[in-house]
């Protein structure tokens, strides 16, 4: 138990990961990468399939929020699917990268990459 016995270790880990993701949203290099993929106002080129598409897509049926179609993606996963979580220093080093560690992917390519990583993680 951590936080004066209020949280389990899993809750604490979730809290720290959420805080790091929030900070990563402000990581300037990530925004530079997206700007580099920009073709013109609101249009971005996917690093995988090289299609040029709008930054956002309409929501899927039943949802209200538009979908991101220009996702800034870590080329190498923050947590290696076959290895799993190593330690906080490794997690932070792999989350906060320089420009060569990021790519901009369209919704289809990002979804496919994420699904493939999830499949590898489940096999572990």
DSSP 66: P
User: How many separate domains does the chain show?
Assistant: 1
Burial 10-23 (b: 16+ CB within 10 A, else e): eeeeeeebeebeee
Which residue range(s) make up the domain with 82? 28-123
- pTM of the complete model: 0.88
In a domain, 21, yes or no: no
pLDDT tier at 78, thresholds 50, 70, 90: very high
Return the half-sphere exposure (C-beta side, CA atoms, 13 A cut-off) of residue 30: 17
Tell me, yes or no, whether 65 lies in a domain: yes
Is the pLDDT reported for residue 123 higher than 80?
yes
Closest CA to 69 of 109, 25, 106: 106
pLDDT at 43 over 90: yes
Establish if 79 belongs to a structural domain: yes
Tokens of 60: 């899927």
Answer whether residue 90 is part of any domain: yes
Closest C-alpha to 72, from 111, 112, 31, 108: 31
Q: Is residue 22 part of a domain?
A: no
Whether 103 is in a domain gets the answer: yes
Is residue 114 a part of any domain in this protein?
yes
Q: Is residue 85 part of a domain?
A: yes
User: Confidence class of residue 52 from pLDDT cuts 50, 70 and 90?
Assistant: very high
């Amino acid at each position: 138990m951590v936080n004066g016995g209020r949280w389990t270790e899993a809750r604490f880990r979730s809290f720290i990961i959420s805080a790091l993701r929030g900070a990563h949203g402000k990581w300037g290099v990530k925004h530079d990468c997206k700007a580099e993929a920009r073709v013109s106002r609101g249009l971005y080129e996917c690093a995988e399939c090289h299609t040029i598409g709008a930054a956002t897509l309409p929501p899927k049926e039943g949802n209200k929020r538009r979908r991101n179609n220009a996702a800034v993606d870590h080329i190498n996963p923050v947590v290696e699917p076959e290895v799993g979580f190593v330690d906080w220093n490794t997690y932070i080093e792999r989350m906060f990268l320089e420009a060569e560690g990021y790519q901009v992917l369209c919704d289809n390519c990002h979804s496919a990459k994420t699904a493939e990583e999830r499949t590898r993680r489940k096999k572990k």
